[in-house]
Amino acid sequence: MTPEPHDVAVVGAGPAGLGAAAEAAGAGLDVVLIDAGQRPGGQYWRHAEGGRGQHWKAYEGLSRRLGQVRRIPGTQVWLITRDQEGFTLRLTGHDPVTARAVILCPGGYDRQLPIPGWDLPGVMAAGGVQALLKEHGTAPGRRAVVAGTGPFLLPVAVALARAGVAVAAVAEANPVTGWLRDPFGALAAPSKSVEAVRYAAAMTARRVLYRTRTVITEIVGDGRAEAVRLRRADGTQEEIAADLVALGWGFTPSLELPIMLGAETRLDEDGSLVAVVDGSQRSTADGVYIAGEATGVGGAALALAEGRLAALTLAGSGKTARLRRAVRRGRRFAAAMRRACPVPAEWTAWLTESTVVCRCEEVPYGELRRACHDLGADDARAVKMLARPGMGWCQGRMCGFATAAIAARLNGRVATADDLRAFAARVPAFPVALEDLAEN
Amino acid sequence: MTYTMTFEGRPVRAEPGQSVAAALVASGVVSWRVTRGQGRPRGLFCGIGLCHDCLITIDGVPDQRACVVPARDGMRLGDRDDA
Ligand SMILES: Cc1cc2nc3c(=O)[nH]c(=O)nc-3n(C[C@H](O)[C@H](O)[C@H](O)COP(=O)(O)OP(=O)(O)OC[C@H]3O[C@@H](n4cnc5c(N)ncnc54)[C@H](O)[C@@H]3O)c2cc1C
Ligand code: FES
Instruction: Say how many C-beta atoms besides its own lie within 10 A of residue B60's C-beta.
Output: 10
CA distance A62 to A231: 45
DSSP-derived 3-state class of residue A19: helix
pLDDT value of residue B72? 96
Partner B contacted by A142 (CB < 8 A):
no
Q: Facing residues of A94 across strands? A: A91
Pick the residue of A49, A76, A124 with the most B CBs within 10 A to test the interface with B by mutation. A124
pLDDT class of A404 with cuts at 50, 70, 90? very high
Q: How far is the CA of A108 from the centre of ligand 1 (A)?
A: 6
Read off the DSSP letter of residue A343: P
pTM: 0.94
Phi, psi of A28 (to 5 degrees): 90, 10
Is-contact A224 A141, C-beta < 8 A? no
Residue type, A299: G
Q: Which of A43, A115, A118, A359 to mutate to test the interface with B (most CBs of B within 10 A)?
A: A359
Q: Is it the case that residue A182 has pLDDT exceeding 60?
A: no
Structure confidence by residue, pLDDT tens digits, A234-260: 999 999 999 999 999 999 999 999 999
- Burial, A246: exposed, middle or buried (Cβ in 10 Å; 0-12, 13-18, 19+)? buried
A53: pLDDT strictly greater than 90: no
pLDDT score of B83: 37
Q: What is the pLDDT of residue A188?
A: 39
Q: Does A399 score more than 50 pLDDT?
A: yes
Average pLDDT estimate for A308-324 = 96
- pLDDT at residue A132 tops 70: yes
Please answer whether residues A61 and A67 qualify as being in contact, where contact means their C-beta atoms are separated by less than 8 angstroms. Answer: no
Q: What is the DSSP string of A55-94?
A: THHHHHHHHHTTTT-EEE-S--EEEEEEETTEEEEEETTE
* Helix (H/G/I), strand (E/B), else coil: B22: helix
* Model confidence pLDDT, tens digit, residues A67-116: 999 999 999 999 999 999 899 999 999 999 999 999 999 999 999 999 99
Q: How confident is the model at residue A22 (pLDDT cuts 50, 70, 90)?
A: very high
Tens-digit pLDDT profile for residues B25-76: 999 999 999 999 899 999 999 999 999 999 999 999 999 999 999 999 999 9
Amino acid occupying residue A303: A
**Counting ligands in written order, which one lies closest to the CA of residue A395?**
2
Which chain A residue shows the shortest CA-CA distance from B44?
A: A124
Provide the 3-class DSSP secondary structure of residue A334: helix
**Residue A197, pLDDT score:** 67
pLDDT of residue B81: 42
Least reliable range by pLDDT among A136-140, A176-180, A355-359, A369-373: A176-180
For chain B, the first-to-last Cα distance in angstroms comes to 28
What confidence score (pLDDT) does residue A180 get? Answer: 55
Domain with residue B24: its CATH number is: 3.10.20.440
Residue with the larger pLDDT of the pair B73 and A185: B73
| pLDDT at residue A336, as a whole number | 86
Q: What integer pLDDT is reported at residue A187 of this predicted model?
A: 39
Question: Phi/psi at A386 (nearest 5 deg)?
Answer: -85, -40
Is the pLDDT assigned to residue A190 strictly greater than 80? no
> In order of start, what are the domains of chain A with their CATH numbers?
6-109+252-318 (3.50.50.60), 112-249 (3.50.50.60), 351-424 (1.10.10.1100)
Q: How confident is the model at residue A220 (pLDDT cuts 50, 70, 90)?
A: very high
Q: Which of A264, A225, A260 is nearest to A246 (CA)?
A: A225
DSSP-derived pairing of the beta strands A244-249 and A237-241: unpaired
- Average pLDDT along chain A: 91
pLDDT at A124 over 70: yes
Whether residue A40 is predicted with pLDDT greater than 70 in this model: the reply is yes
The pLDDT value recorded for residue A185 is: 38
CA distance A200 to A262: 42
Q: How many CA atoms lie within 13 A of A30 on its CB side?
A: 9
The more confident residue out of B12 and A337 is B12
pLDDT value of residue A151: 87
Cα–Cα distance between A115 and A240 in angstroms, integer? Answer: 16
Query: Which residues of chain B make contact with A139, given a CB cutoff of 8 A?
Result: 25
Helix or strand holding residue A384 (H, E): helix A380-387
User: Which residue does chain B place closest to A223, by CA atoms?
Assistant: B41
Rounded CA gap, A414 and B11, in Å?
51
Q: Supply the range of the domain harboring residue B26.
A: 3-82
d(C-alpha A142, C-alpha A187), whole Å: 37
Pairing of strands B10-14, B3-7: antiparallel
Report d(CA A404, CA A398) in Å as an integer. 12
In the predicted model, is pLDDT for residue A192 greater than 70?
Answer: no
Residue A282 pLDDT: 98
Which is nearest to A250 in space by CA: A137, A334, A178?
Answer: A334
Beta bridge partners of A146: A170, A246
Residue A306 pLDDT: 98
Residues 6+ positions from B68 with CB-CB distance below 8 Å = B19, B49
Alpha-carbon span A87 to B51, nearest angstrom: 28
Cα distance between residue A305 and residue A22, in whole Å = 12
User: How far lies A275's CA from each of A280, A289, A290, A343, A401, in Å?
Assistant: 13, 10, 8, 20, 15
Whether A163 and chain B come into contact, CB under 8 Å, resolves to no
Verify whether the Cβ–Cβ distance A124 to B46 is below 8 Å. Answer: yes
> What ipTM was estimated for this complex?
0.95
Total structural domains in chain B? Answer: 1
Q: Which residues pair with A86 in a beta bridge?
A: A83
Note the pLDDT tens digit of each residue in A150-177: 989 989 999 999 999 999 999 999 987 6
Q: Is the pLDDT of residue A195 over 70?
A: no
Q: Which of B58, B53, B51 is nearest to B12 (CA)?
A: B58
The DSSP secondary-structure symbol of A257 reads: H
